[in-house]
Amino acid sequence: MASLVLVVEDERKIRELVRDYLERDGYQVLTTGSGAEALTLARTHAPHLMVLDLRLPDVPGEEVARELRTFSSVPVLMLTAKATEDDRIRGLEIGADDYVTKPFSPRELVLRVRAILRRAPEVREHGQARSFGAGLLAIDESRHEAWIDGHLVDLTPTEWRLLLALTARPGRVYSRSELLNRVRGEEFEGYERTIDTHVKNLRHKLGDVSGEPGIIETVVGTGYRLGLQRDG
Ligand code: CA
CA of 61 to the centre of ligand 1 (A): 9
Kindly tell me if the per-residue pLDDT of 48 is higher than 60: yes
What is the rounded average pLDDT of the residues 83-104?
75
User: Long-range CB contacts (< 8 A, 24+ apart) of 69-75?
Assistant: 69/94, 69/95, 71/42, 71/43, 72/42, 72/43, 72/46, 73/123, 74/42, 74/46, 74/47, 74/48, 74/49, 74/50, 74/123, 74/127, 75/48, 75/49, 75/50, 75/116, 75/117, 75/120, 75/123
Query: In this structure, which residues have their CB less than 5 angstroms from ion ligand 1?
Result: 10, 53, 55
CA of 101 to the centre of ligand 1 (A): 12
Half-sphere exposure of 224 (CA within 13 A, CB side): 28
Give residue 210's pLDDT band: very low, low, confident or very high (50, 70, 90). Answer: low
CA of 62 to the centre of ligand 1 (A): 12
CA of 129 to the centre of ligand 1 (A): 30
pTM for this entry: 0.53
Of how many residues is the chain composed? 232
Give residue 136's pLDDT band: very low, low, confident or very high (50, 70, 90). Answer: low
Residue-wise pLDDT for 194-207, tens only, equals 788 888 888 888 87
CA of 47 to the centre of ligand 1 (A): 21
CA of 70 to the centre of ligand 1 (A): 23
Mean pLDDT across the chain: 80
Higher pLDDT, 157 or 35: 35
CA of 4 to the centre of ligand 1 (A): 21
Contacts of 196 (CB under 8 A, 6+ apart): 176
Kindly tell me if the per-residue pLDDT of 128 is higher than 50: no
Task: Pick from 19-28, 90-99, 100-109, 173-182 the range whose average pLDDT is largest.
Answer: 19-28
Higher pLDDT, 114 or 33: 33
CA of 82 to the centre of ligand 1 (A): 11
Contacts of 105 (CB under 8 A, 6+ apart): none
